[in-house]
Amino acid sequence: MKLPDVRIKKILYATDLSESAVHAFAYAVNLARTYGAGITILHVMAEFPGENFILNMIHTDTWKEIRRRYYAEAREELMDEKRDHLALKDVLQAFSDTIQNGAPNQTFVTDEIIIKTGPTAEMIVETAKKRRCDLIVMGTHGQSALADVLIGSTARWVVRHSTIPVLVIRLPE
């Protein structure tokens, strides 16, 4: 039996900014160094549930009135959200730079830092596919059988739906 030639040139590192995700970054960096791959860093922010969700809860006229009342405030908040995205992107860039500067033997290339809003698991799979990544690296919070049942649904969904390999890293006990 001949094994396929495994080539990893692009790694998607998905982070929720948790301790588990930071631990997973070590694996992404080591794999990038080993394979000469670039790393794309992705953070997905929670999505507003959407108008259809709201219209299931309240009458259309009530929703229109609420929208009208808060339009100016919402517009300002959207501008703040854009600034938050830029700030978060800067934080992730500084994190990447700090890791690289702190360990000269851990050289790697950060191809891109992406901040998206939407359903987390779907955004991870979609981004990996669009960016033609060869591997997804992400952390999981589960540390016991009970935690695995309650936590880790994002990682579980990504593993089930991704067409490319997924490396899920558990935080050591």
* Residues 35-63: tens digit of each pLDDT: 999 999 999 987 655 556 565 666 677 76
* Residues 122-133: tens digit of each pLDDT: 999 999 999 999
Tokens of 88: 């978060």
| pLDDT of res. 136 | 98
Compute how many other C-beta atoms are within 10 angstroms of the C-beta atom of residue 37. Answer: 21
pLDDT band at 160 (very low <50, low <70, confident <90, very high): very high
How many C-alpha atoms does 62 have within 13 Å on its Cβ side? 6
Calculate Rg over the CA atoms of the chain. Answer: 19
pLDDT of 84 over the 90 cut: no
* Residues 146-158: tens digit of each pLDDT: 445 444 688 999 9
Q: What predicted TM-score, i.e. pTM, was given to this entire model?
A: 0.75
What are the sequence ranges of the domains in the chain?
10-48+88-170
Looking at domain 10-48+88-170, which of 3.40.30.10, 3.40.50.620, 3.40.190.10, 3.40.50.2000 is its CATH number? 3.40.50.620
The distance in angstroms from the start CA to the end CA of the chain is 38
Q: Are 42 and 116 in contact (CB under 8 A)?
A: yes
